Structure 1
């Protein structure tokens, strides 16, 4: 099991690696759920860190449904990121009916080169998440970030377990949202995602803008030894 930590600055990325994070997700607009960071920041973080760096590609926070102008920006961002040392693209898109935008997904895949792909929490808007797993597993998608359709993954243990079982051998489930050093032990006692994603729960005062907290990351990871 691995721990992915959200970071928004070069310092946060460096601190997260020093604190023991297995991977970082680099974003901007943290209070908006994550937006695409600048190319300069992407290049700098990827050049300095030795752990994998996953990059959010999301042009705005208005919705997960994108018009042709948005799509041009998304595809250009993916092209630019494909030429960096990034590990993966973090992306998700829905159509007007809140189904996976398969056409845009395929276009992103065609531009990402050898980068891995995580389908982000746009997934949580799907009415039928098991069907979503089946669809995504047909494409070059490596992981799904999900809170099980709830605001917090802590409140969606049953659904995340169902998704993890359904996705076994097809695609990895990355559980995120609301997971903290103070509740991860209860979460992992009853929930079996492949990996865990932490944001404010890995920072001082559980704040999106707090400093990376070494003790919290150590506590989060200390519970992984009981999981395969």
Structure 2
């Protein structure tokens, strides 16, 4: 079981690693759902940490439909992530119809060769969750998919997770559960769906707020709960 924690600063990342996080998702603009962080932060975090760092590639918060100019920015950001030492990138693209934008996805994947790729919760905004998963599993370069199972919280989507797992089998991308999981419900969720990877944001922060720093004790408690589940 791997625990991924959202960080938006070097201090965040240090605290998460020390507390036992297995991987960092490095972002800016957490209140906007996560945006691409500055090159300075990417470089600092990647040089300082020993655990993997996945960098969010998202140029704006106006949904997940991107223009050709947006894509060029994203490609440049991915190229910089390679130079700055990131382990991987976090991407997600839809078209106006709510389907996976395969043309844009292929461009981003081409730029991401050599990096560990996560497809993010754009999946949960797609018009058909399972149709989108069928598309994503055709791209072996995508190592994992971050999803809430199409619901506002993962705890409400156990049946969807089970169906997606049947879709991807053992050869498809890993399903990383995120959104709404906490100390209070993680054991219940894992009892119903034994996820291999879990993603935490507010749940590991003081007062469960993105405006507060990461709480070391919350991560330690989560690791203990996950281990016993």
TM-score tier by shorter-chain length is over 0.9
Look up the SS of the partner of 2:142 in the other structure.
coil
Distance 1:35 1:147 in 2: 19
Asked whether 1:168 is paired with 2:169, we answer: yes
Return the alpha-carbon distance in structure 2 between the equivalents of residues 94 and 226 of structure 1: 38
SS in 2 for 1:83: helix
Summarize deviations over 1:15-62 as a string: whole Å, max 9, x none: 000011000100000011000000110011000000000000000011
- Counterpart-to-counterpart distance in 1, 2:196 and 2:135: 19
CA shift in 2, pair 1:113/1:82, >3 Å: farther
CA contact (8 A) 2:12 2:214 kept: yes
Q: State the alpha-carbon separation in 1 of the partners of residues 163 and 222 from structure 2.
A: 23
Structure 1 gaps of 5+ residues are: none
Q: How does 1:74-153 map to 2 (within 5 A)?
A: 74-139=74-139, 140-153=141-154
Alpha-carbon shift at residue 161 of structure 1 (Å): 2.1
Aligned to 1:191: 193
Please tell me whether the aligned partners of residues 3 and 21 of structure 1 are also in contact (alpha carbons under 8 angstroms): yes
Q: Is the 8 A contact 2:187 2:226 kept in 1?
A: no
For residues 102 and 160 of structure 1, the distance between their equivalents in structure 2, rounded to whole angstroms, comes to: 23
Deviation, 1:86, is: 1.1
Describe how 1:1-228 pairs up with structure 2 within 5 A: 1-139=1-139, 140-169=141-170, 170-226=172-228
More displaced 10-residue stretch of structure 1: 191-200 or 23-32? 191-200
Distance in 2 (alpha carbons) for counterparts of 1:94 and 1:18: 36
How far 1:113 sits from its partner (Å)?
Answer: 2.8
CA distance in 2, matches of 1:79, 1:10: 21
The two structures, once aligned, show a CA RMSD in angstroms of 1.2
Query: How far apart are residue 226 of structure 1 and its match?
Result: 4.3
Q: Which moved more, 1:185-194 or 1:72-81?
A: 185-194
Deviation at 1:134, TM superposition (A): 2.2
